[in-house]
Amino acid sequence: MPLTKAKKEQVVSDVSDLLKESKLTVVAKYQGTSVKDMQALRRQARDNGTQVKVVKNRLVIQALKNLEQFKDVDTSELEGMLTYAFNKEDEVAPAQAIAQFAKDKPTLEFVGALSAEGKWLNATEVKTLSELPSKPVLIASVISLLGSPIRSVISASSGHLPAILSALETKAS
């Protein structure tokens, strides 16, 4: 059933809002992916805060033209059966969600992505992003690195503490 003009305008408005709020919008081909698999992708992506939508490319292009930062984006690659993954909290989460799902369902294939600044990333760049650790993992590793010198000093001093105490005891007597 075709969308009415009012519904199309609503979809364009919704997609514009998603694009505006999203730190990274990943575009992927889904031809050959079943409806059941697409529903599973949506559920899985929702776990990391990513929203996956299938929207007519014409309506996405219209939404892009409505936003200042995306006006100059080349939309020539927005052809075929595409799905769009949006995330407003994490830059790599949409790419990771699709890449993780594509390991089991190779019918999903990156086309590219749009950054929050309006830059188009090609499929290779998106694949590279998807291989980065997630934001919480990066934060945990930085905290671990910051705590490392403290742990080293504590472990070094605790290992020599009995020897230091015995030396002080001997010197005092």
Q: Is the pLDDT of residue 52 over 80?
A: yes
Q: What's residue 95's pLDDT?
A: 92
Q: Please say if the pLDDT value at position 54 is more than 90.
A: yes
The pLDDT score that the predictor gives to residue 137 is 78
Evaluate if pTM is beyond 0.85: no
Read off the pLDDT band of 133 (50, 70, 90).
confident
Mean pLDDT of the chain: 86
Give residue-wise pLDDT tens across range 34-50: 999 999 999 999 998 99
Interval 83-129: pLDDT, tens: 999 999 888 889 999 999 999 888 899 999 998 888 999 989 999 88
Looking at residues 58-67, what average pLDDT do you find?
90
Length of the chain measured in residues: 173
Q: How confident is the model at residue 158 (pLDDT cuts 50, 70, 90)?
A: low
Fold of the domain built from segment(s) 5-132: Alpha-Beta Plaits (3.30.70)
Contacts 24+ apart (CB under 8 A), 4-11: 8/59, 11/55, 11/56, 11/59
Residue 69's pLDDT is 87
Which band of pLDDT confidence, cut at 50, 70 and 90, is reported for residue 82? very high
Q: Which residue has the higher pLDDT, 23 or 142?
A: 23
